[in-house]
Amino acid sequence: MCGRFAFYSPTEAAAALFGVEGSVDVEPRYNIAPTQYVAAVRDGADEQRELVMLRWGLVPFWAKDPSIGNRMINARAETVAEKPSYRNAYKHRRCLVLADGFYEWRRQGDVKTPHYISLASGDPFALAGLWENWTDKESGESLQTTTLITTEANDFMALLHHRMPVILDAATATDWLAGSNDLLDDVAAITPALQAWPVDRRVNNARNEGDDLVRPAGDVLR
């Protein structure tokens, strides 16, 4: 799964990598957790890409209670096209969630050590996502939410966990937004080279923030 990530690159430059012009600045975040708002790119009016803030945890348009989103932070690539909660968004509402890295906890015996994973290049990237618009029938207020697509870990990520998010570069991001159904067939083939290192356990608490959370606390894995 992917339950925590970071996005701290200058927003305009990162968004421009994925076809957005003139985006607004987003506060750097080093410990983004479910139910918080994340920066995402999607196709807007006139097929122009736009940067929006979406709450992490997808609420299907048909849901009676938005709290369902609290446990819908990830959608499995293997079943996303068929699951009632995701299939409509998979067909019509895809997005790119901007990130510089994400966290995973490596279990060794009874100990779980947090690791920070980023591109080997150090560049920002996109996480394949879906978005939804939910409307409260009583108040008329709308809530836009997102979920991240996860898949079986590639050889590198298998050192840390058996699942990983679907990571996109500029080219594969375009295919994802265009509705490609082939991208998820062989995610390992499209995943850029990664690196990882252990970090301080302060990241375990979602209330903690700051660039010290991504600072290496041990050897870098490549």
pLDDT digits (tens, 9 = 90+) for 15-60: 999 999 877 789 999 999 999 999 999 998 887 899 999 999 999 9
Q: What is the CATH number of the domain that holds 158?
A: 3.90.1680.10
pLDDT for 148: 98
15 lies in a domain? yes
Has residue 207 got a pLDDT over 90?
yes
Structural domain of 127? 5-101+122-196
Q: Which of 53, 55, 51 is nearest to 18 (CA)?
A: 51
Stated pTM of the model: 0.96
214 lies in a domain? no
130 lies in a domain? yes
**Signed CA dihedral, 155, 172, 103, 144: sign only:** negative
Alpha-carbon distance 218 to 216, whole Å? 6
210 lies in a domain? no
161 lies in a domain? yes
Q: Which of 113, 129, 189, 182 is nearest to 154 (CA)?
A: 189
Alpha-carbon distance 214 to 192, whole Å? 20
Total structural domains within the chain: 1
Look at the block and give the residue holding tokens 């012009």: 21
132 lies in a domain? yes
DSSP code at position 158: G
200: its two tokens? 């301080």
pLDDT digits (tens, 9 = 90+) for 116-143: 999 999 999 999 999 999 999 888 899 9
112 lies in a domain? no
22: its two tokens? 């003139």
159 lies in a domain? yes
**Signed CA dihedral, 208, 219, 128, 184: sign only:** negative
Active site residues: 2, 104
